[in-house]
Amino acid sequence: MTTLLTYLHANEVAPALPEGEAQSLTAELESWSGLKVYPRSIVAAQHSILFLARQGVEKYLGILSRGNGRAGFTGQTKSVAGDGSDLTLTICPANTSNATALRAILPFLVARPLGLRKSAGCGDRLGLATPGHVRAIRHSSMAPILAQQSMRENARTGRTPQQVMDEAMWGVFQEGWREGFGADADHLKTTRDIDICVAAGYTFYTIDPGEYVDNSANTASASELQPKLAALPWTALDSNPANLEQRLAEKPFDLGSFSLTISREELWRAAAKYGRAVAHTVSMYHHLAGAMGERPFELEMSVDETETVTTLAEHVYIVHELKRLGVKWVSLAPRYVGEFEKGVDYKGDLAEFERSFARHFAVAQAYGPYKLSLHSGSDKFSIYPIAAKVAGELVHLKTAGTSYLEALRAIAVLNPALFREIVAFSLERYPADRATYHVSAEVAKVPDITKWPDDKLTALLDDFHGREVLHVTFGSVLNHPPFREPFFAALRGDEETYYQMLERHFAKHFSPFGQ
């Protein structure tokens, strides 16, 4: 009781309790609330003790305070007696309005910019993975982005940017993570997308101008390039062909250990390929800056989901023009050499990747510094040591689908029959679902698990073809009514199994970047 009353005196956010005191206070809170309390969530601020708890598979915010309880929260209240003190316990649903009120009290639950710190984006398509991500982050040197979802993924999972933000926040609260986190509005294509994410409190905005990239410029003849150049939005680019040539053609650019001279043909090809993408990014940036007002934010430009590799000349063209047009960005994702398929390791020559990545990093140093971003970065274990060695702190690793795959691994353990049904369904859906992904898995090469014993089913998640098939069919699986309820029931019913798998899996992602 002494710890409780002392903690209630705190006005500013109090330091986290030592484990022994947290366990003791947990027992008291559980006896009063009748709920299972997460010890790491317990925090004191503004003369209240706040905590996250669960009953069955539902989670609740608990608030213990003096007097009649805290204003601004909605929930059920009751009086409890503590060592002669009259206290009020309020049990609140973990909803958006209570999440908003909680952020106003606990600043560490508000997403913030991460700057040029080495970072990792942890996409969560289920809204359940953040505690596992945090556990892995605790043992790493990465700064985390814990709310991250593209509009495409939101559409396929039936979630909104606000739901993604809130679910990540409850996970941060549950684990007592106070070191800060970012929120990535990923692969934004329209100003409407920006406005929705600004309203939800995102701090990191990934602009995806892939639709404006002209991949045919890579192989176009000189005569074919001319109409492409003429059609560029020169007014939006605040330039013209003559000015562009004067700025960038046939001039040596000092990139540290080497210099680069862009020929006229290389420049015209770069402009034809990426000019419209630059103009779109500039337009999106200015809209974002206006929408954010005085609030700080970070921008990433991503051209990774395009057909053709980003050459060094093209990289220079992109960032030179962005900088000239007043855009500020913290990271950029080129289309690198090799193949970055979903949920599997890098496919390509590692020596070639290292040479190319080092040269792109030289551009990032010369025109920034800014971080090089590894998109579709899940499970690219062979290139992590290279990226860490070359870029040091100036790297951003973006993951998403791998957390869903670890959920399937947990399902294989917790509900083998459901896992078998999901695999059969995914094999049927894969030919259609793969259309919007760059993958090479073949249904015919997926192992036949019908004769596998239940305790061997997780091995399918380690098979290249099985892994990709399961990865790209996530939307179909989650929107298939017979699967959805038992899928979430299994993960929520034994959440520790999922958390432990996530922690182990993400430790493999983060460890090459340093502890």
Question: What are 327-370's pLDDT values in tens digits?
Answer: 999 999 999 999 999 999 999 999 999 999 999 999 999 999 99
> What's the pLDDT score for residue 258?
96
Enzyme catalytic residues: 186, 300
> What's the pLDDT score for residue 183?
98
pLDDT digits (tens, 9 = 90+) for 177-197: 999 999 999 999 999 999 999
> What's the pLDDT score for residue 33?
96
Residue 3 has pLDDT above 90, yes or no: no
What percent of the chain stands above pLDDT 90? 93
What percent of the chain stands above pLDDT 70? 99
> What's the pLDDT score for residue 126?
97
> What's the pLDDT score for residue 1?
56
Q: How far is CA 212 from the centre of its chain?
A: 24
Q: Are 166 and 145 in contact (CB under 8 A)?
A: no
pLDDT digits (tens, 9 = 90+) for 423-447: 999 999 999 999 988 899 999 999 9
Domain ranges across the chain:
2-105, 116-221+265-401, 404-498
Q: Which residue bears the tokens 């019913």?
A: 493
For 280, residues 6+ apart whose C-beta sits below 8 A from its C-beta are 207, 209, 212
Question: Across the chain, what does the average pLDDT equal?
Answer: 96
Whether the link from the prior residue into 369 is cis, omega within 30° of 0, is yes
> What's the pLDDT score for residue 436?
84
> What's the pLDDT score for residue 2?
58
The runs of H, that is alpha helices, within 34-125 are: 96-105
> What's the pLDDT score for residue 84?
62
* Averaged pLDDT for residues 302-329: 97
Pairing of strands 204-207, 182-188: parallel
* Averaged pLDDT for residues 43-72: 93
Helix (H) or strand (E) holding 254: strand 252-254
Q: Strands, DSSP E only, in 56-155?
A: 58-66, 76-82, 85-93, 119-122, 143-150
Amino acid occupying residue 353? F
Residue 305 has pLDDT above 60, yes or no: yes
Q: Are 264 and 249 in contact (CB under 8 A)?
A: yes
Helix (H) or strand (E) holding 191: helix 191-199
Tokens of 266: 């290389």
For 481, residues 6+ apart whose C-beta sits below 8 A from its C-beta are none
Is 116-221+265-401 assigned to CATH 3.20.20.70? yes
pLDDT digits (tens, 9 = 90+) for 131-158: 999 999 999 999 999 999 999 899 999 9
Pairing of strands 48-55, 143-150: unpaired
Q: Which of 60-64, 80-84, 364-368, 386-390 has the lowest mean pLDDT?
A: 80-84
In 3D, which of 251, 101, 87, 227 has the Cα closest to residue 170?
101
Helix (H) or strand (E) holding 508: helix 495-510
14 CB burial (10 A radius; 0-12, 13-18, 19+): middle
Residue 82 has pLDDT above 70, yes or no: no
> What's the pLDDT score for residue 106?
98
